[in-house]
Structure 1
């Protein structure tokens, strides 16, 4: 059973998401919070698998709450936003969020997103996410970081190629076809990449790939 904590400053949104998710046979809503401080406390007390995190809230916002939850718990954070490209989402991805969804998402897509994140994957397939990450690293303030580039030496050639394909938004099946290996082998490569680079998930791996210079936006 996937345990979910819903964080949003609007009662109607929390109630709506809770109704949709509680109707799923494999998902249960274990709590709700209306701001970042309450979210951190609830995440520590309730041990959710996934936190649906509103990005803009009064008081402590979603970015800081995401960073603290990711640093102190094993919960995966799925960011909620009203906008397809939101300045605050960049910070949330850097803070450790496993992906983001729009608040007008269909109910079946919401449940699917929660399951995907709970399983340790990231929401990278939608074109909107790829555009978000590319826009993040295209900015002049986020050029190639030598410190990150040096860490690429930790990877084997095959792992580096796998990371390059992950950063392009390829699924495990697509990577397997490209490299002529099994999906199980791809999963093993991804797990080793995350461990060697000290990354939480594929979202952070994508940001790392761009910021280290392994992948260049627009190429």
Structure 2
């Protein structure tokens, strides 16, 4: 399996495709690629038995796709946790390193890493870490961009993206912050929120608002 297909499996899982359907648009925004490229890759992965693609309904993982996605996500997030907790990496630095390490991690190594870290439940950017049997608690799959004006939510996790994590560090948005959405600007404009935790008003870009999961 190519690294690109593995990225698709991981992002479909992260968007909720293990138990529900996600759209081409969600995948395209999350991977920052053209929607046409998503359609082409998803068709290939459907032929190979990793995803189910129902036109106009969405994309979900098959049992085999889910199994592989869980393994990849577990390896990736364990390494992210190790890099931050043991080696002092910052959040924007961890994705590239964890991306390399996840592909050379055997189940035995992943379990040893898990034990050494105290069996963490979540990675540094809030993502759930599946256990060694592939079990995990379901994350929220509601993104900030889809929250209605006037609603108050709590930041649960971020998509693992270097530019996003750098951006969020700059605006000081953290896991656990409570936000009230004040306004969505039209034509794919930014989302204006009030961070009730830090008592700050923030303007969050359209794409970034698709990378922030809230509950």
TM, length-normalised to structure 2:
0.28
Normalized per residue, which structure has more helix? 1
Normalized per residue, which structure has more strand? 2
TM, length-normalised to structure 1:
0.28
